Structure 1
Amino acid sequence: MRRAIFCDEQGLFRGTDEDAWDASASPIVAVQRGAREGEEVVGVVRIYEVEPGVWHGGRLGVARAHRKQGVVGRGLVHKAVTTAHGWGCRRFLALVQAANVPFFESIHWRSLEERTHRDHPHHLMEADLASYPPGDEPRRPPGPGFG
């Protein structure tokens, strides 16, 4: 799904969007049950710790058919931040495409600064952890990259 969104659809990457963070990231996947083949992946995000207590979310992607209402994206962001918060996160950041800043602001994030990433406007944003109580998701060792 990441390849379809970030490489094919948006053209931000050529071939793959995988990077060094994938090796240590914890992927979170949104699945729609009851699809034709039983389950369908409708969204993805990854979280990773860059230094003790400082976590980043990234590569948030939602299948085109599930973007309009924001339900999948909102759920993925909530799960990402509450999971990291439960694992000791004291600060949660993400580099967000400029077009998505209003969505993130509506769910208790604030822009820290504007940046250009891969020739596209982005904002470095921070989640208000008071709005995301720590989750109780068990922490598993990171797995292999995904794409």
Structure 2
Amino acid sequence: MTPPYSFELVQSRETYLAYLRLRRAIFCDEQGLFKATDEDERDAAAFAIAAVHAMHPGAREGEEVVGTVRIYEAEPGLWYGGRLGVARAHRKQGVVGRGLVHKAVTTAHGWGCQRFLALVQVANVPFFESIHWRSLEERSYRDHPHHLMQADLESYPPGDEPRPQPGQGFR
């Protein structure tokens, strides 16, 4: 049986801190892409999205952040996703990564996205291709090979989640 997951915009400080801890565990500790933190200037304007695993369905207690992604608008209509990460224990099923990508792209699409891009590690290119993305070019990021990839927005209908107003954050 697949564990129950929800994919949601981060709306509390507690969830945001868990989201940052997971990013740090994946991108700093596990992959070594960054030293002490993977936070950067994009985080200030980005919308954080978390995959939450409910250990006891229907109860807010016992929830764990098991996946992360952020989205941001670089210019009107041009959105990027980044820092997609899934806790090691939740990677094999593919459910969490797909859910995060779907939530990220449909949310941005609902907020006026006309083009959605992401810089994807080479090992993850086949996964993205399987969910309606295409590679635009190869790039190096932090001395690691990546692909700049674009989502096929026709495969991601616009979401209806309201866009938070600037200053509504919890940071």
Provide TM-score, normalisation by structure 1: 0.95
Q: Which amino acid aligns with 2:109?
A: H
Query: 2:75 aligned with 1:54, yes or no?
Result: no
CA displacement 1:69-128 (0-9 Å, x = unmatched): 110000000000000000000000000000000000000000000000000000000000
8 Å contact from structure 1 (residues 23, 144) kept in 2: no
* Secondary structure in structure 1 of the residue aligned to 2:63: strand
Q: Distance in 2 between matches of 1:144 and 1:76?
A: 21
Q: Which runs of 4+ in 1 moved over 6 A?
A: none
**Residue equivalent to 1:85:** 109
Name the structure 1 match of 2:44. 23
Unaligned runs of 5+ in 1: none
- Give the percent of matched residue pairs that are identical in Structure 1 and Structure 2: 81
Q: Is the aligned partner of 1:72 residue 2:96?
A: yes
Relative contact order (C-alpha < 8 Å, sep 6+): which is higher? 1
Normalising by structure 2, report the TM-score: 0.82
SS at 2:162 equivalent: coil
Q: Decide which of 112, 124, 129 is 2:153's aligned counterpart.
A: 129
- Please, what is the CA RMSD of the aligned residues? 1.2
| Secondary structure of 2:55's aligned partner | strand
Residue 44 of structure 1 corresponds to 68
How big is the shift at 1:141? 3.4
* 1-structure distance, mates of 2:156, 2:130: 13
- Partner SS, residue 138 of structure 2: strand
Q: Which residue does 2:126 correspond to in 1?
A: 102
SS at match of 2:106: helix
Offset at 1:144? 5.7
Count of aligned pairs between the two proteins: 144
CA contact (8 A) 1:22 1:144 kept: no
Unaligned runs of 5+ in 2: 1-21
